[in-house]
């Protein structure tokens, strides 16, 4: 197959727009089809702008397309977790070493930067285009109310409920899973204080861990925080049983008293903002003929590792790398991309599910915090040999998610044994740290 | 909710037709919508009629609706497995105790009996009706080219690629999985011998186990056998590499020499009959408002335990039981049905996948056959306390699939230990059988 000339991308979201930039820079004619209005003209549609955690894997891709500096200016570094207990007592925990942090960024702000850049370099955007189906054999895209349009390549970057993937589902031997967790989420709001000040510590991701559920908050540049309550749909407590304003009021005052004081619009937000569900999506293959799925369309994950966007951006970077390696020979690149990337997509899906339990429950557990402290010490002493799971996933943009998962599993087994040491809380600094690290290298 | 008056069933297949009979007998107005032509008038459409293994769970439901005797007349009992090795050497193994057997029946023959009976008692059938969607709130069924039609209840019994389930997929928090195995299947033919005689032992399910793949054959009333080759799509050997007639010829002569001699139309069959894929489908919930999924539409499984139809018929029986228990209060019955039945559907899905490995590989293994012999002895000595997995699943129609799976797992652990006994092949009859059985009852 010769190099593709024309590429259609479904989805002008974060991943679709970044893919468009990468591919336009390689010289392709790129057209992006978006179901929604142009968010730059009708900002209101998506509702309140929400924030996302941008970390090294995502930043690396933005650096490659020359946008990292612009985005770092509006990003707010978060150096660690700040846990809030029921008495409002705070307990913070760094994500990695000095200088390692994740970034709170506005989803819509980032998306607008990407769309503007894509358009600047010659990508065409077509909005209000509802994709009906793909003809894989003819590489044709069918938009509602129009006849099919032919391209050399079609990329589905249209998210967890991808229309392009819908056509994959009508093909034989397409493995597909969508699995919802028992929790939904609702966004809530902490406004800025006087003169745009931050009412919580600015440079943290705040967590109110409550075992079976949690609330988190990320800072925004205007001094506000966007809170997200992750809460069961059914049972007690749950969204189902918080029926009246009095129920909501009482629940927040008892459960999140310090946050409640900072949420003057709690009841309005709770009643107005939707309760959304959380799904993991897996499928395979990601390629049919000349059509490819990337990002959430190929691997939708729950948000608890803050890696959804980062994984999608990494897809774009890896696809671009393979194109460079193989002189834009898509016949080679497409199968190689899916084979390489599928285990990593499965790994981050698992890590994201596991991390919900860590965030909502374990971070409030003394044993768990001691374990983290010991791992932090190992990381400090042997920064190349014992990198804890969170920094491997979040900061090591050269490490595959699947390798991080595997190494993390080995570390867990070793640490399970270490944690059996009697009186560890008082003696942990006397542990034989080199011997612990040697177990990991021996196991590899 | 009062008792439903009108029920629409999507699918006039085995499960849809049986459900129609059960519900008509309870007094409902039942209309069955079928996408295909009426197979009684255009027999050719479904291609060659294939056979199925009907066993106790299915028979019990047929007994309840008064059709078991009629069907037993045309069923061919299969008392066990007959294994064929590469030299054509035979080795048989009984499925259970004396008098326990499964039955080879014609799918179309059984379906016609069910449709005729349903029509006789007043069920309406509408053929050539392609269902587009269900409106769950209004309990409306939309057939292509027509406006929506309202019912009190809609049942999707339209198989693994259910159109009714398609509408479930557009609802929030619907868990769904479709997973294909690496093997496909192709039907082949052994004709009757002289005067309609059977050219293989009549009363067995024949297996040619070849480790990574297998062929099986079930008897038909006319003296023929329907063979099914379960074979990888890719790799070597696979459907992919058998490209020419010479390839097929050589492969069969080397791999299934005894069968090959009995297959005069091998090449024609191989080239003409489709290569079909094998999928497991799981989803949940099975109920949205007044719409219910049953049979393969709710839980499609691979065919290796011969339980797909039997599980679907058991769905009908259990639904009918619950309706009797709860005075046809569907508001109670629908959620209870899905909660009760989902773990059993998951269990038989797992058992069916596991049994492929047993059939294609383990049944040719001496250790495995010794294990089966010992379990057979335990069953003989303690018929109420140690029922091997196969008879639990196949013959114990009062035992839930999930209980059979769980008990089978316990038995496996116990037998794993027994199998470590030195020189077991010569000494197994001296085992302390009561002690083995006591381990199982103690574990329960």
Interface predicted TM-score of the whole assembly (ipTM), two decimals = 0.88
CB contact under 8 A, A172 and B233: no
- Give the whole-angstrom CA distance, residue B407 versus residue A82: 47
- Give the whole-angstrom CA distance, residue B350 versus residue B405: 9
Residue from A165, A168, A180, A274 to probe the interface with B (highest B Cβ count within 10 Å): A180
For A129, residues 6+ apart whose C-beta sits below 8 A from its C-beta are: A33, A34, A35, A143, A144
How close B100 gets to chain A, by Cα (Å)? 36
Contacts 24+ apart (CB under 8 A), A246-254: A254/A86
Set of chain A residues whose Cβ sits within 8 Å of the Cβ of B179: 175, 177
CB contact under 8 A, A175 and B172: no
Which of B334, B345, B350 has its CA nearest to residue B295?
A: B345
CB contact under 8 A, B177 and A172: no
Which of B45, B38, B46, B34 has its CA nearest to residue B131?
A: B34
Global confidence as pTM? 0.91
CB contact under 8 A, B277 and A172: yes
CA distances from A193 to A215, A439, B80, B190 (A): 20, 50, 78, 83
Measured between CB atoms, does A170 come within 8 Å of chain B?
no
Set of chain B residues whose Cβ sits within 8 Å of the Cβ of A233: 173
Q: Which residue of A has its CA nearest to B171?
A: A277
- Give the whole-angstrom CA distance, residue B128 versus residue B41: 12
Measured between CB atoms, does A175 come within 8 Å of chain B?
yes
Q: What is the pLDDT of residues A114-140, one digit of tens each?
A: 999 999 999 999 999 999 999 999 999
Give the side-chain half-sphere CA count within 13 A for B299: 26
For A276, residues 6+ apart whose C-beta sits below 8 A from its C-beta are: A184, A185, A186
Q: Which residues, numbered 370 to 399 in chain B, qualify as contacts with chain A under a Cβ-Cβ cut-off of 8 Å?
A: none
Contacts 24+ apart (CB under 8 A), A354-358: A355/A304, A355/A305, A356/A181, A356/A183, A356/A230, A356/A302, A356/A304
Question: Which residues of chain B fall short of a pLDDT of 50?
Answer: 1-2, 44-48
Per-residue pLDDT tens digits of chain A, which is 444 residues long? 445 599 999 999 999 999 999 999 999 999 999 999 999 987 644 444 588 999 999 999 999 999 999 998 889 999 999 999 999 999 998 999 889 999 999 999 999 999 999 999 999 999 999 999 999 999 999 999 999 999 999 999 999 999 999 999 999 999 999 999 999 999 999 999 999 999 999 999 999 999 999 999 999 999 999 999 999 999 999 999 999 999 999 999 999 999 999 999 999 999 999 999 999 999 999 999 999 999 999 999 999 999 999 999 999 999 999 999 999 999 999 999 999 999 999 999 999 999 999 999 887 788 998 999 999 999 999 999 999 999 999 999 999 999 999 999 999 999 999 999 999 999 999 999 999 999 998 876
| Amino acid B48: pLDDT | 45
Q: What is the pLDDT of residues A283-341, one digit of tens each?
A: 999 999 999 999 999 999 999 999 999 999 999 999 999 999 999 999 999 999 999 99
Measured between CB atoms, does A174 come within 8 Å of chain B?
yes
| Amino acid B3: pLDDT | 53
Measured between CB atoms, does B179 come within 8 Å of chain A?
yes
Out of B172, B178, B277, whose CB is closest to A176?
Answer: B178
């Amino acid at each position: 197959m010769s190099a593709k000339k024309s590429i259609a991308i479904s989805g002008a979201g974060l991943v679709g727009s970044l893919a468009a930039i990468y591919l336009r820079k390689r010289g392709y004619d790129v057209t992006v089809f978006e179901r929604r209005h142009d968010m730059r003209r009708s900002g209101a549609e998506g509702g309140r702008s929400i924030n996302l955690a941008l970390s090294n894997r995502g930043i690396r891709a933005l650096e490659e397309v020359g946008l990292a500096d612009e985005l770092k200016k509006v990003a707010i570094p978060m150096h660690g977790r700040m846990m809030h207990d029921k008495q409002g007592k705070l307990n913070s925990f760094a994500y990695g070493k000095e200088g390692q942090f994740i970034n709170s960024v506005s989803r819509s702000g980032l998306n607008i930067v990407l769309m503007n850049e894509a358009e600047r370099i010659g990508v065409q955007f077509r909005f209000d285009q509802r994709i009906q189906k793909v003809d894989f054999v003819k590489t044709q895209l069918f938009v509602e109310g129009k006849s099919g349009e032919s391209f050399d390549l079609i990329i589905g970057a249209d998210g967890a409920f991808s229309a392009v993937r819908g056509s994959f589902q009508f093909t034989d031997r397409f493995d597909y899973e969508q699995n919802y967790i028992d929790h939904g989420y609702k966004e809530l709001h902490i406004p800025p204080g006087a003169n745009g000040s931050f009412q919580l510590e600015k440079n943290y991701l705040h967590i109110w861990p409550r075992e079976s559920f949690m609330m988190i908050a990320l800072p925004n540049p205007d001094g506000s925080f966007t809170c997200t309550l992750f809460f069961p749909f059914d049972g007690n407590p749950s969204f189902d049983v918080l029926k009246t304003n009095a129920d909501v009021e009482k629940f927040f005052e008892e459960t999140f008293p310090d946050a409640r004081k900072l949420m003057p619009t709690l009841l309005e937000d709770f009643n107005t903002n939707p309760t959304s569900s959380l799904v993991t999506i897996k499928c395979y293959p990601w390629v049919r003929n000349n059509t490819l799925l990337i990002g959430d369309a190929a691997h939708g994950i729950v948000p608890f590792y803050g890696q959804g966007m980062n994984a999608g951006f990494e897809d774009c970077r890896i696809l671009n790398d393979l194109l460079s390696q193989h002189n834009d020979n898509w016949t080679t690149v497409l199968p190689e991309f899916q084979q390489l990337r599928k285990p990593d997509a499965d790994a981050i899906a698992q890590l994201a599910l596991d991390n919900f339990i860590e965030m909502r429950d374990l971070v409030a557990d003394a044993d768990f915090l001691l374990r983290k402290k010991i791992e932090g010490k190992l990381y400090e002493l042997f920064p190349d040999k014992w990198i804890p799971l969170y920094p491997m996933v979040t900061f090591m943009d050269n490490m595959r998610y699947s390798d991080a998962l595997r190494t993390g599993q080995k570390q867990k087994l070793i640490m399970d044994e270490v944690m059996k040491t009697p009186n560890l809380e008082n003696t942990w600094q006397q542990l034989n740290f080199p011997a612990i690290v040697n177990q990991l290298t021996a196991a590899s």
